[in-house]
């Protein structure tokens, strides 16, 4: 139905232009509705250029037409959920800014979104941007907390699950030999290079792609009910996802959380989808 941009590794204008240009390259005749990112009020600047380049896509520097009549991501979400109550699922691959803003704009959508899939957070308390915070939650923790504590039916697909699936040189070679768009090959090449140079790894993580496949293929994912919240102010724990697992817990269960994933099937599906694009 739609794809919405959200600020994160790059600013709102850049990520919106990236989205518009990617969709224009991939499938312009069937262009979905696109939502423009807004600046996050509570965001903490994070410099990820060492991994993702200045443009967030591995310095592929996509350029195309700028759309003058942009609709904000939160307004587009609200409009579609109003139009199709109970039928729209949302998959959030980045910070939860758009969802939080949509709830502020129209609180009633909390009960008319079919399900929200959130890629991010950490069940075991080990992060990827700080020792205990995953990037999406760390970037805009207040929005994450607002969404966690809303009544939306939601599933969290955490770093514990997505980071178990890595992509090595065989995957890179298969993509390089495929007919997928040139910009995607270049972006992956940059990512493999920076993972090796900056992290000392010969394989890469594609947490968002794994999370998306898990959301779209529910039989690959095992979940359990949890009571979760997000730390917003801690000097050392900003963005940490906190789960009350005591026998007499104070938090109420408010989400499903992915605990196990068929990693082999997820990796194979992602490669198939990319290589045939």
* Domain count along the chain: 1
State yes or no: pLDDT of 240 exceeds 90.
Answer: yes
Instruction: Give the model's pLDDT for residue 63.
Output: 83
Mean pLDDT, rounded, for 103-114: 98
Predicted confidence band at 247 (pLDDT cuts at 50, 70, 90)? Answer: confident
Instruction: Give the model's pLDDT for residue 34.
Output: 94
33-45 confidence digits (pLDDT tens): 999 999 988 787 7
179-199 confidence digits (pLDDT tens): 999 999 999 999 999 999 999
Domain that holds residue 19: 2-275
147-185 confidence digits (pLDDT tens): 999 999 999 999 999 999 999 999 999 999 999 999 999
Q: What is the CATH number of the domain that holds 109?
A: 3.90.245.10
Instruction: Give the model's pLDDT for residue 277.
Output: 67
Average pLDDT of the residues of the chain: 94
State yes or no: pLDDT of 64 exceeds 90.
Answer: no
Predicted confidence band at 68 (pLDDT cuts at 50, 70, 90)? Answer: low
223-232 confidence digits (pLDDT tens): 999 999 999 9
- Full DSSP string of the chain: -EEE---SSS-HHHHHHHHHHHHHHH-GGGPPEEEE----TT------HHHH-TTSSSS-----PPPSS-EEHHHHHHHHHHHSTTT-EEEE-S-SHHHHHHHHH-GGGGGTSSEEEEE---SSS--SSBTTB-HHHHHSHHHHHHHHTS---EEEE-HHHHTT-EE-HHHHHHHHTS-S-HHHHHHHHHHHHHIIIII--SSEE-HHHHHHHHHH-GGGEEEEEE-EEE--S-TTTTT-EEE--STT-SSPP-EEEEEEE-HHHHHHHHHHHHHT-
Instruction: Give the model's pLDDT for residue 138.
Output: 96
């Amino acid at each position: 139905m739609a794809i919405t941009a959200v600020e994160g590794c790059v600013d709102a204008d850049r990520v919106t232009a990236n989205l518009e240009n990617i969709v224009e390259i991939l499938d312009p005749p069937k262009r979905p509705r696109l939502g423009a990112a807004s600046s996050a009020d509570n965001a903490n600047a994070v410099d990820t250029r060492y991994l993702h380049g200045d443009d967030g896509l591995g310095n592929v520097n996509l350029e195309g037409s700028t759309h003058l009549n942009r609709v904000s991501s939160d307004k587009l979400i609200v409009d579609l959920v109003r139009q199709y109550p109970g039928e729209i699922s949302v998959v959030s691959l980045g910070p939860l800014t758009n969802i939080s803003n949509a709830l502020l704009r129209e609180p009633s959508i909390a009960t008319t979104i079919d399900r929200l899939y959130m890629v991010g957070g950490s069940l075991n308390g080990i992060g990827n941007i700080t020792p205990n915070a995953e990037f999406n939650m760390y970037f805009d923790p207040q929005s994450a907390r607002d969404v966690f504590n809303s009544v939306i039916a939601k599933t969290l697909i955490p770093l514990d699950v997505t980071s178990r699936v890595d992509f090595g040189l065989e995957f890179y070679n298969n993509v390089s030999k495929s007919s997928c768009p040139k910009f995607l090959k270049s972006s992956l090449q940059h990512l493999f290079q920076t993972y090796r140079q900056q992290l000392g790894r010969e394989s890469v993580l594609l947490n968002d792609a794994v999370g998306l496949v898990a959301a779209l293929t529910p039989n690959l994912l095992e979940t359990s009910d949890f009571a979760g919240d997000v730390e917003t102010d801690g000097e050392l724990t900003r963005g940490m996802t906190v789960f009350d697992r005591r026998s007499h817990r104070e938090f109420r269960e408010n989400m499903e959380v992915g605990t196990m994933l068929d990693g082999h099937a997820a990796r194979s599906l992602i490669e198939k989808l990319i290589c045939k694009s």
